[in-house]
Structure 1
Amino acid sequence: MTARMEALAQEIVRLQTELDREIERRRRALGWSVKEHLVQFEQGLVAEHKRLRMGVAAFFAQSTLLTVVTAPVIYSMIIPLVLLDLWITIYQAVCFRAYGVTRVRRSDYIALDRGRLAYLNWIEALNCLYCGYGNGVIAYAREISSRTEQYWCPIKHAIRISDPHQRYYDFLEYGDAEGYRTRLNSFREELARAPVATDDCTDHFPKAGSGLAVTGKTNRAGEQE
């Protein structure tokens, strides 16, 4: 990677850090935080969320016929998603161990926490759980496939591709034959040293997981909201 490319990559990291800080400021403005895997809302917010929850009857009343008819098609995707989830997990358990590649932790990509929000009715909560699972599985599979690509073929394409995975930016340029022969092993060695996610992350940006417990802070009457 050239000095210019490295400088741009560092700028991307800086901007991502700044974006994370802005997201955290927005979260505080909305009155919630995460401490020891518990989502805590400021006093009174949970009750306000429940007040804003739409009943199931009203939810169906405002839904279009096409929404109702296509719902089974949407939810049928759970079958290939579960199969992908299972298959990609077995794949990395077998192949990554054989190659010496650090395995991807599934819980870093699949989060099922939105279903606990008090302003969602059970249908909306189910939709959120489904979307969180589906997109999480895709992200999980993408990281596994990106590590596979780095191991076997860390070469950029000749044509521009839309939204490549982050490892792609460090790949060798198309046509760099000497680089491929001299640096392939170093790309593979990097995978053996890939950082393993831990649970010592900050309270504000917890790792995705099976879901976070949501609590309300105790009000003045001593009741849990």
Structure 2
Amino acid sequence: MALLTRVAKNPKHFLLITLTAPAIYGLIIPVVVMDVFVSLYQAICFPVYKIPKVKRKDYINFKRGKLTYLNLFQRLNCIYCDYANGVLAYGVEVAGRTEWYWCPIKHPDHAKRSHDHYEDFIAYGDDDDFAKKHKAKRTACRACESDCSSKDV
């Protein structure tokens, strides 16, 4: 009954939610596909190059969906957002470690970066002893263990 009251108070808002929900929840398909492919990529490639694996569980957790003060729809929304944002953060970290290993060179125009390793990359245009610097970055990438976001690595 509470839902009907809310709809009656603001039918335009309810209509907008109804129209946008498929676009929002339709993204679950590419998010699941990304989760599977990033996990496979990491499982296959990281051991070959001795890059420490990203712990998926560190990025995806569903604790907000357990909050008792949320209604069923709010809990489902929290679970969805926890998963989607967790998978994206997990993918960014896997891509960041890949970039750290293969091409740790900053962009010339300071492109926005989400992973924690970027600021420690080699400056764009810094060709002075590049091979030695690149080797050092690979060694640092391989040396990171549980917390690869540390700037001390």
Residue in structure 2 matched with residue 64 of structure 1 by the alignment = 14
Residue in structure 2 matched with residue 100 of structure 1 by the alignment = 50
Mark the CA change 1:60 to 1:142 in structure 2 (over 3 Å): closer, same or farther. Answer: farther
In structure 1, how many angstroms separate the alpha carbons of the residues matched to 2:136 and 2:108?
22
In structure 1, how many angstroms separate the alpha carbons of the residues matched to 2:112 and 2:141?
24
Larger Rg: 1
Residue in structure 2 matched with residue 91 of structure 1 by the alignment = 41
Residue in structure 2 matched with residue 132 of structure 1 by the alignment = 82
- Taking CA–CA contacts closer than 8 Å with sequence separation of 6 or more, which of the two structures ends up with the larger relative contact order? 1
- Relative to the length of structure 2, the TM-score reads 0.86
In structure 2, how many angstroms separate the alpha carbons of the residues matched to 1:73 and 1:119?
27
Corresponding residue to 2:94 among 129, 144, 149:
144
May I ask how many residue pairs the two structures share in their alignment? 143
Residue in structure 1 matched with residue 23 of structure 2 by the alignment = 73
The one-letter amino acid paired with 1:64 is F
Deviation at 1:56, TM superposition (A): 6.3
Deviation at 1:162, TM superposition (A): 2.4
In structure 2, how many angstroms separate the alpha carbons of the residues matched to 1:166 and 1:58?
47
Conserved 8 A contact 1:155-1:174: yes
Corresponding residue to 1:160 among 110, 113, 120:
110
Conserved 8 A contact 2:96-2:115: yes
Deviation at 1:165, TM superposition (A): 2.2
More helix by share: 2
Please say if 1:173 is aligned against 2:119.
no
Residue in structure 1 matched with residue 151 of structure 2 by the alignment = none
More strand by share: 1
Is the partner of 1:125 in helix, strand or coil?
Answer: helix
Mark the CA change 1:59 to 1:173 in structure 2 (over 3 Å): closer, same or farther. Answer: farther
Conserved 8 A contact 1:56-1:123: no
Aligned CA-pair RMSD:
1.8
In structure 2, how many angstroms separate the alpha carbons of the residues matched to 1:91 and 1:101?
12
Is the partner of 1:166 in helix, strand or coil?
Answer: coil
Identical columns (%): 41
The one-letter amino acid paired with 1:189 is T
Mark the CA change 1:164 to 1:131 in structure 2 (over 3 Å): closer, same or farther. Answer: closer
Corresponding residue to 1:121 among 71, 76, 92:
71
The one-letter amino acid paired with 1:81 is V
Deviation at 1:189, TM superposition (A): 1.2
